[in-house]
Amino acid sequence: MSRPTAADPTVTSPLAIVGSGVIGALSALTAAQLGLKVLWFGPAEVDRTDGADARNYALSPATVGLLKRLGVWSALEANSCTVTRMEVFSGASRVDLTASDSGVEFLSAMVTHRNLLDVLEQALKFRAPVTRVPVRPNYLEALPDRVRLGVDGKTFDAQLVLGADGARSWVRGQAGILWGQRDYSQNAIVAAFHTEFPHGGVAAQWFDRGDILALLPLADPQQVSMVWSSSRVDLLAPDLNATIADQIADRTAMRFGRLRLVGSLTSSPLRMLLTDELTAPRIALLGDAAHTVHPLAGYGLNLGIQDLLCLENIWKEYRSDPGNGSALAAYRRQRLRRIKTVQWSLDLLQRWVVQPHPTLQRLSQLGMRVVANTGLLRQLLIRQAIGPS
């Protein structure tokens, strides 16, 4: 980390965002809509090595609401798919969750990572108060009334720096924010399949022998996206690409008929990243820089967007200095407990599913049957599935 020289001209802005992924781009758009001048740091994503390019997000209605307010949903809608029913299977038990059961229009909307980021980047080109600095900063210094970022000898000052730079956050490291992680000893294998039968907007999930397998509908009525969390798939098996479609069709009792792999498989190790501090002086973390969760509920990005919605409200009140101590304290107070609750709830569910004890497995199937027969519990689950509004 090289300290810029004092003679360097400094660009000043209320807000600097580090991170060129979905949360960074959305933060820039949200701040710009409030009229805040933004410096947005990070190179354009070309080829992600962590498999995110192959990901499809199940966006909650609250997230879709934000995209509508930002004026970008109309560009995404044609390539999205609304999920109107979820089928959850465990052993011989099955629970159906429908949007109409809970009086909502849809449970979630599926979009691809690439499409979402392209639309956000396109929209940002026309937002005047956003200046893109298409490189990673290499210097950060917190001063009492601002943070100084440095890139190649140039300096940039901001009242608030947002760390939206993902699970390996550079900002988090520079700010000295401690973190820990729980390794799930599982990989998420992501793939897309062409299906024999149209999916009809149905998302299906199987809790099975410690694995969690989800098939999620895509914009093409005969394509689904798979997220298979498992510790037992032999990723190095030479014939995995050739056999996976039949394996999954078999494990899902041909729910969508015969399957054909589209493209290739990607795999990422699953970890829950935790921190007790979301902020440091004039610095705030959000998105995966602040927390990661098991993908069993498709919650990760939605959780980051809830961080942003909280910040958006705070910025309305602290427009003249979004990085001041009271603004950051409000963010910590409003988000920390909520994030921990989601993280530990999903963690508990994951432990419940992977535990091998036969009595507990029988109990879990009994629980599924109770849920299947109780409208009120089903509605509660739907509200959890679609996230808070």
CB closer to ligand FAD, 157 vs 165? 165
Report the site for ligand FAD in 49-68 (rule: CB under 6 A).
52, 55, 57-58
Least separation in angstroms between CB 36 and ligand FAD: 19
Helix (H, G, I), strand (E, B) or coil at 62: helix
Q: Of 17-25, 31-39, 202-210, 360-368, which segment contacts ligand FAD by CB under 6 A?
A: 17-25
Q: Strand locations in the chain, DSSP E? A: 10-18, 38-41, 56-59, 81-83, 85-90, 93-98, 108-112, 130-133, 139-143, 146-151, 154-163, 180-195, 202-208, 211-217, 223-230, 259-274, 279-280, 283-285
> Binders of ligand FAD: how many residues, by CB under 6 A?
33
Instruction: Give, as one character, the DSSP assignment of residue 261.
Output: E
- In eight-state DSSP terms, residue 373 is H
Could you tell me which of 86, 90, 91, 67 has the C-alpha nearest to residue 77?
Answer: 67
Around 49, how many Cα atoms within 13 Å sit in the side-chain half-sphere? 0
Q: Among 10, 12, 79, 268, which residue sits at the site for ligand FAD (rule: CB under 6 A)?
A: 268
Which of the stretches 7-15, 41-49, 148-156, 372-380 binds ligand FAD when contact is defined by CB under 6 A? 41-49
For residues 261 and 191, the answer to whether their CB atoms sit within 8 Å is yes
Alpha-carbon distances, residue 1 vs 12, 139, 140, 151, 174 (angstroms): 21, 6, 8, 10, 10
Q: Which of 4, 42, 322, 323 binds ligand FAD (CB under 6 A)?
A: 42
Among 4, 14, 15, 23, binds ligand FAD (CB under 6 A): 23
Asked if 112 is part of the footprint of ligand FAD (rule: CB under 6 A), the reply reads: no
**Footprint of ligand FAD on 208-227 (CB under 6 A):** 227
The contact pattern for ligand FAD, residues 157-176, with x = CB under 6 A and - = no contact, is -------xxxx--x------
The one-character DSSP state at 173 is H
Q: Which two tokens stand for residue 208?
A: 């099975």
Q: Buried b vs exposed e over 89-117: b needs ≥16 C-beta within 10 Å? A: bbeebebebebeebeeebbbbbbbbbbbb
Please state the closest distance from residue 234 (CB atom) to ligand FAD, in A. 18
Judged by beta carbon, residue 36 or residue 190, the one nearer ligand FAD is 190
Q: How far is the CB of 50 from ligand FAD (least distance, A)?
A: 7
The smaller minimum CB distance to ligand FAD, of residues 208 and 321, is found at: 208
What's the first-to-final CA gap in the chain, in angstroms? 41
CB nearer to ligand FAD: give 37 or 136. 136
205: contact with ligand FAD by CB under 6 A: no
CA-derived radius of gyration, the chain: 22
Under the criterion CB under 6 A, does residue 40 sit at the interface with ligand FAD? no
Does residue 295 interact with ligand FAD by CB under 6 A? yes
Please give the residue ranges that form the binding site for ligand FAD (CB under 6 A). Answer: 18-24, 41-42, 45, 52, 55, 57-58, 136, 164-167, 170, 188, 190, 227, 268, 287-288, 295, 298-302, 304
